Structures are given as C-alpha cells and as structure tokens.
Amino acid sequence: MPFRLLRPLSPAHSASHSRQPSANVPNKEILASTSIQAYATILAAGIYAVTIYVACVSYLPVYLVTFFSNIPTITAAHSATPISLFPITILLGLAAESFIFAPALGAVPSLADPKKAPFNPGTATPGETFWYNVWGYSTETKVTIQRTVTLMLVSGINTFLRTLTIEGVEARGAIGYSAVWVVASGLAGTALGIVGAI
C-alpha cells in the first residue's frame, strides 16, 4: 500500500495493468496478457506449495517439536499435501509474479547490455573479463537475480525475526522455519527467471 501511494508504477507494472501498454516497454504483449500472468502466478504458487510440503514431510516437524516449546499439535504439518497447500499459496505466487516476473520482462535493456555489445576476450582487460563473468548477464537476468535475492533476504529475515517473537521459540527453530521461505522464494524466482528468459 505505501508503495502504491508514494511511488508511481514501473513501466512493467503499468503495462500489465492496462490494455494499452506504452510503446517503450519491452515485452508489452506478454506483460498485458492475463493468461501469461495467471500461468506465472500458478507456477510460483505451485513451487511454494511443493516446497512447504517437502519441508513438512522431511525436517520441519522435527524442528517444530524440538525448538518450538509451546506448539500444542503438529497434525497440520503431517496432513499437508501440495494440493491442500496450493490455495493458500496463490497470494504468494501472485506476489512473486508481480515482484519478479513482470519487472524482469519490462526491464529496459541498457547500452551496456551483453546482448547489445558482444564481449571480446582477446581485447578485454583482466578486470573486464572478471566483471563480465561475474555480472555479464542481460538486463532481464540481472533484474531477476536482484529481485529474487531481495525477496529471499526480506522473507528470511522477516520470518526469522517474527518467529523469534513467539514465546518458546529457539533461534535454531526460527532459522529452520525461515529456511523454508528462503528456499521457496529462491526456487520461485529461479523458475520465473527461466520462464522469462524463454
């Protein structure tokens, strides 16, 4: 809400919310397509649901019992399935699609974009070679990486700190619980980045 009130929409989001996208937005047909946005949301929501399910059938119940002293029951963790978790994760998928997928597709390539200027290793300095190998991606890929890492950090730190405020939760349990959300965010961002690159 504060971003909506204090900041104008990015070109990618303004293109996806109107049927008449502006001419300077790349991939405007994709951004204006409701079906592609829905598929990307479903993909991200499915990844969140499967990640939470895998955590619930592997290590999370042990962490909940061991490091969360005031939990009365963990039957919800044992009875979870990807299908039962999917409706809950739709909003997470929509948020990931809006935060990662749309801005990456709407990113305006810079003049230093590797796709625009081919890299010549024969004439490049060692510093240019190192920089190209570390961060020589296209603008869309850079936006995807930056936003995915941001989502992972924010969701991990926020979940960790909020979990620690619950009485009876140990730090190790908070780390284990927040790891689920960090991994889910990373996998969703990676999948949306791959779909955006195709």
Global confidence as pTM: 0.79
Q: Are 155 and 185 in contact (CB under 8 A)?
A: yes
Tell me the pLDDT of the chain averaged across its residues: 82
Residue 15 lies in a domain: no
Proportion of the chain above pLDDT 90, given as a percent: 40
- 117 within some domain: yes
Scored b (16 or more CB within 10 A) or e, 113-140 reads bbeeeeeeeeeeeeeeeeeeeeebbbbb
Residue 142 is assigned to a structural domain of this protein:
yes
Supply the pLDDT for residue 14.
52
Say if residues 45 and 93 touch (Cβ distance below 8 Å): yes
How far is residue 71's CA from residue 77's CA, in Å, rounded to a whole number? 12
- Please state the domain count of the chain: 1
Centre a 10 Å sphere on the Cβ of residue 13 and count the other Cβ atoms it contains: 18
In a domain, 162, yes or no: yes
State yes or no: pLDDT of 72 exceeds 70: yes
DSSP 3-state of 58: coil
| CA separation for the pair 158, 176 (Å, rounded) | 13
Averaged pLDDT, 20-48:
80
Question: Out of 27-41, 71-85, 171-185, which region has the weakest mean confidence (pLDDT)?
Answer: 27-41
Under 8 Å between Cβ of 86 and 45? yes
21 within some domain: no
Residue ranges making up the domain that contains 35: 26-197
Task: Look at residue 5 and tell me if it is in a domain.
Answer: no
Per-residue pLDDT of 101-113, as tens digits, reads 888 887 766 545 5
pLDDT at 19: 46
pLDDT at 194 over 50: yes
Instruction: Name which residue leads in pLDDT, 136 or 156.
Output: 156
Asked whether residue 95 is assigned to any structural domain, the reply reads: yes
